[in-house]
Amino acid sequence: MARSKMQVAGLAFGALLVVAATTYVFVAPYNRIAGVRIGGTITPPPADFTAVYKRATGMIKTGGFPPFVVNVSLVPFKDGFITSTRPDGGYWATRARIAPEGYVRIGDATFAMTATEVTGDAKKPYLQAMFGPDLSRRLSGGVIIGESEPVGEWQLFLWTPR
């Protein structure tokens, strides 16, 4: 039985969609495209994250549905990890506020964590952990190279074990 050109085109398109969806689930996140799967091995948290980890690029998975996994810069802090984002209404920060129970992955270790936004004067020790002890220039209008927002206006989150 011969298939029509439309049937063959439909099957090819369907196969292409399956390959694209599978690639997206197992390869993303990358660059600015979020993923849905964080991977890694669920690991018990250390007593002091700064004793075990150094600043690195890792992944966060925010709570809620659908899953949302992005690459971020992770700064270890005694109680967990600090992440930050520009104050531009970014999606992951909004999701972390709405559904704070998520995951953080660094290397192959994945931790069940809760995100807490740090605001106001409480930001200072976290900003010092990120940028060093001399914050006067950065907090009085100093900016990160290539960015236009002053560092003090960035949105900061502390991810702690749950």
- The domain spans of the chain are 41-161
- Using alpha carbons, select from 88, 92, 101 the residue that is nearest to residue 73: 92
Tell me which DSSP letter residue 47 carries: S
Phi, psi of 45 (to 5 degrees): -75, 145
Percentage of the residues of the chain whose pLDDT score is greater than 90? 38
* Superfamily of domain covering 41-161: Electron Transport, Fmn-binding Protein; Chain A (2.30.110.10)
Residue 115 has pLDDT above 80, yes or no: yes
- Residue 2: what pLDDT? 65
DSSP string over 60-110: EEESSSS-EEEEEEEEEETTEEEEEE-TTT-HHHHHHHHS-EEEEEETTEE
Residue 156 has pLDDT above 80, yes or no: yes
Higher-pLDDT residue of 104 and 10 is: 104
- Residue 26: what pLDDT? 54
Reported as a single tens digit per residue, the pLDDT across 125-140 is 887 787 776 655 555 4
